[in-house]
Structure 1
Amino acid sequence: METMGYPMGGGATRLYSNLAHTFSGSQHVPLPLTHLDPYQPADTILNPDFCQEQKGSPVSPLSPAEVLLQCEEALRDGPPRYHRTFIPPSNGDSSAIRVMQWNILAQALGEGLDSFVLCPLEALSWSRRKHLILEEILTYRPHILCLQEVDHYFDTFQPVLARLGYRSKFYPKPWSPCLNVKGNNGPDGCALFFDESRFEVLDCVSLQLSAMKIPTNQVALVMMLRCQSTKRCVCVAVTHLKARAGWEWLRNAQGADLLRQVQNVVQKHAARTSGGPSSPVPLIICGDFNAVPTEDVYHHFLTSPLGLDSAYKNLSQDNLTEPRYTTWKIRPTGECCATLDYIWYTQDSLTVDTVLDLPSEEDIGPNRLPSFSYPSDHLSLVCDFSFKENQ
């Protein structure tokens, strides 16, 4: 893939080595990273069986509780993080599937192009943000983790989360704006992680989303996963649609393309398993859609023949209204408080058991996001799903 803008910063390998040393002490054997080129499409980087570790890359397991404690220790001099609760309270059902959706804010964009005018530069440093991001993930320990704006996949998230029991896939944007930032860490993209103790992967498709058959700069990943214990399948997708006002038509076209591609994956799976159970495969589609609920792409998903609904409507009293915001930031152009992030699911095959609430305006504070308390301009969404018994 031809690169554009500034070259990647040279500290990527050093950064991961330092992070891994912090987490695992002197017993850690660093993963070799020199064979990974973030500028290449993900399919050319990873082995054909992308969930297998590269040969010669020893991986020793880490304890999630231990990593969480070390993150908290690294952040002990900072302000407290938001206290969030599940609504209704989680009943601890071991069969539930916990899903996290999060635009984590690409490091190059946070320090460069995004211009969060009231956020101190120190709060945007990677040395702080990496611990806040990992702390957020490990506080809720999702079985499926869908991330956008990931530009530290190879030197942080993949190696650390692999040692915590996650397998994953990453797909970078073809023309990532991160590459226009001096000292960047490579292109940003979407990443999908799953807990290998809960799931095995049957299929994975990396998509460059199209509009009117023309490829765009936005991408998606679609995975067919099978539960290790029940052998039931679920199809999971993660995406990040075009940002900014004036591009509503493009977001709608990209969303339509994603829905078609997800349906293709499900039909391909059904053809492979003909003669087996004929019930539809449950779908979970996560993403930063950059679209408020009044946009066409939202309506397109809500009225899709796939039977989708938005999980975070469960926070409202009538189960019909989206939250007031999933992102709240202040840029030179003004303040943005909007709902742009969603976890879609097939309501005929999945039940939403519980949803993680969102911090209040008072919690977030007058300078909004990101901040010393929170590493991204988008809030993480977390919910637990259960399979419907009649499926």
Structure 2
Amino acid sequence: MRTAGSEESSRLTHKRKRDCSLVSKRSNSDHRKWKREPDSRLPAAGSREDPPRRAKRRRTRGEGGRDVYGSRQWVFSPRDLSSFRDSFVIVSYNILGVENASEHVDLYDKINPQHLSWDTRKRQIHKELSCYNPSILCFQEVDRFNDLANLLQKDGFVGVYKGRTGQASDGCAIFWKEEEFTLLHHEDIEFRKFGLRDNVAQLCLFKVSHNHSNMSKNKDASCQIAAPRPCQTLLIGNIHVLFNPKRGDIKLGQVRVLLQRANTLSQEYGNTPVVISGDLNSMPQSAIYQFFTSSELDILAYDRKKISGQIEFPVRQMPFIARNDALRTPKCISYRMKYKWSEEEIHLAAGSRGCTRLQNPLKLCSAYQGIPGHDNTRDGNGEPLATSYHSKFMGTVDYIWHSSALVPVGVVETLPINVLKRLGGLPSEKWGSDHLALVCKFAFVDDANCSNTLHDSE
């Protein structure tokens, strides 16, 4: 005859065996899920969940186990960049200001309110960033700087912040890893001082610590014993350009001021390499984009209200229009087509009255355009199809630009359009902002590796 105690003991033994079986299955599943070759692809940002949320994780997958929130992967340059010794990873990320999210609820009408909570989003953002192993972080729409600083301090980051002038509560922030960089110079740009609204920009000049830089891992020991190198510096610019689509004069003026100041600092420190990142509130088809890629821009060749491309390429149509190069803004515009600008508008855009040709002193390239990508995430010229998505916009407004002293080694692809449409908008359970982070790994170019490596691929 079985006693109550023996029945209870038998029941507990059976439960332990069942639990061990479940743990074993989960463990095997996790092993298969995370098995990957080093540096071959990026694990899905924010995809690893704690055991109590495992059931919820399964419910977010569609047919065939598809992750409905999407995943992002590294793609690398086809060039042989093994001779490039020093590298770093930079992230540019408009993280969606807390007050902006609460004041513009119409942009997030399809978003679960929980996904707009800053306590939730800051953890998602932190988890996502850890997947990229970044060295430098450039944030826009920051209105909770202390929260970010506390989170990132644990990862070895320190940062500087500049809030917008006027009534706005958000601003820009740059963080860097102390073991990799030493701050030599830092300055803020208040565009209000130039009559260019309340937006701001940042410039940080760093000294690179070669002891902690990401040296190319070569099995040949002789490659690891390198001669002492001179002090390597790096200039980082971070900007959030005015949103107003009709004020192209203001937008151009803000970009002009930043590029001029960045060029001056670069020259003062021996032509130091430059990276400019941020939210330009301008499309890849726009005159502002053309200004970054060229040395000169005739502002009278463009309608002031269409400088940023936000009006010509409306909501949701842009990713599909961008595939057709014939619809892109032509690089050579007939100068017989002149638009009327007031004297004040010309002064704001160009910085002086009567000057209608803007000069870009920096020769810059787009990081994403420099790395071949997938058709479902890139337009015809190699830029992401979409870096931002909410109920009233889907398109690309975020960029990372670099000077010729740097070469992009790899970038993290953005999400395909079909995945974004399936989400119905950002933020989501997995992505903590209505923008997607842009991520690029750069290597420094020096005399020893620039002569043949780059020219062979041209």
Normalising by structure 1, we get a TM-score of: 0.70
Offset of residue 269 of structure 1: 2.9
Are the aligned partners of 2:96 and 2:434 in contact in 1 as well (CA < 8 Å)?
yes
Distance 1:204 1:71, change over 3 A: farther
Alpha-carbon separation, structure 2, partners of 1:104 and 1:289: 14
Alpha-carbon separation, structure 1, partners of 2:131 and 2:156: 15
User: Which amino acid is the alignment partner of residue 240 of structure 1?
Assistant: H
Alpha-carbon separation, structure 2, partners of 1:297 and 1:307: 14
Q: In the alignment, what sits opposite 1:136? A: 128
Alpha-carbon separation, structure 2, partners of 1:320 and 1:114: 34
Alpha-carbon separation, structure 2, partners of 1:355 and 1:69: 18
Normalising by structure 2, we get a TM-score of: 0.60
- Counterparts of 1:1-391 in structure 2, within 5 Å, are 72-73=49-50, 77=56, 79=60, 82-88=70-76, 95-115=86-106, 116-154=108-146, 156-177=147-168, 187-209=169-191, 213-229=194-210, 231-270=231-270, 280-303=271-294, 304-316=360-372, 320-330=381-391, 335-346=392-403, 348-364=404-420, 365-390=422-447
Distance 1:300 1:384, change over 3 A: same
Alpha-carbon separation, structure 1, partners of 2:174 and 2:394: 26
Q: In the alignment, what sits opposite 1:275? A: none
Alpha-carbon separation, structure 2, partners of 1:228 and 1:71: 32
| CA deviation map 1:271-298 (0-9, x unaligned) | xxxxxxxxx2110000000011232222
Corresponding residue SS for 1:237: strand
Are the aligned partners of 1:218 and 1:241 in contact in 2 as well (CA < 8 Å)?
yes
User: Which amino acid is the alignment partner of residue 209 of structure 2?
Assistant: Q
Gaps of at least 5 residues in structure 1 are: 1-67, 178-186, 271-279
User: Which amino acid is the alignment partner of residue 302 of structure 1?
Assistant: T
Alpha-carbon separation, structure 2, partners of 1:94 and 1:377: 35
Alpha-carbon separation, structure 2, partners of 1:281 and 1:319: 31
Offset of residue 380 of structure 1: 0.5
Structure with larger Rg: 2
Gaps of at least 5 residues in structure 2 are: 1-44, 61-66, 211-228, 295-359, 374-378, 451-458
Distance 1:258 1:312, change over 3 A: same
Distance 1:297 1:89, change over 3 A: closer
Corresponding residue SS for 2:435: coil
Are the aligned partners of 2:367 and 2:400 in contact in 1 as well (CA < 8 Å)?
yes
| CA deviation map 1:209-268 (0-9, x unaligned) | 258x31521101100111111531110010100013212221111000111111222234
Distance 1:251 1:82, change over 3 A: same
Alpha-carbon separation, structure 2, partners of 1:172 and 1:342: 21
Alpha-carbon separation, structure 2, partners of 1:287 and 1:75: 34
Corresponding residue SS for 2:238: strand
Are the aligned partners of 2:389 and 2:395 in contact in 1 as well (CA < 8 Å)?
yes
| CA deviation map 1:321-359 (0-9, x unaligned) | 3221111211xxxx311110000000x211111111111
Are the aligned partners of 2:122 and 2:148 in contact in 1 as well (CA < 8 Å)?
no
Are the aligned partners of 1:350 and 1:386 in contact in 2 as well (CA < 8 Å)?
yes
Corresponding residue SS for 1:312: coil
User: Which amino acid is the alignment partner of residue 86 of structure 2?
Assistant: S
Distance 1:264 1:389, change over 3 A: closer
Offset of residue 114 of structure 1: 4.8
Distance 1:148 1:71, change over 3 A: farther
- Percent of pairs identical after alignment? 25
Alpha-carbon separation, structure 2, partners of 1:362 and 1:152: 32
Distance 1:292 1:114, change over 3 A: farther
Alpha-carbon separation, structure 2, partners of 1:308 and 1:168: 25
Alpha-carbon separation, structure 2, partners of 1:232 and 1:319: 35
Are the aligned partners of 2:90 and 2:135 in contact in 1 as well (CA < 8 Å)?
yes
Alpha-carbon separation, structure 2, partners of 1:145 and 1:194: 6
Distance 1:357 1:113, change over 3 A: same
Q: In the alignment, what sits opposite 1:58? A: none
Alpha-carbon separation, structure 2, partners of 1:85 and 1:284: 22
Distance 1:171 1:339, change over 3 A: same
User: Which amino acid is the alignment partner of residue 267 of structure 1?
Assistant: Q
Over aligned residue pairs, what C-alpha RMSD do you find?
Answer: 2.7
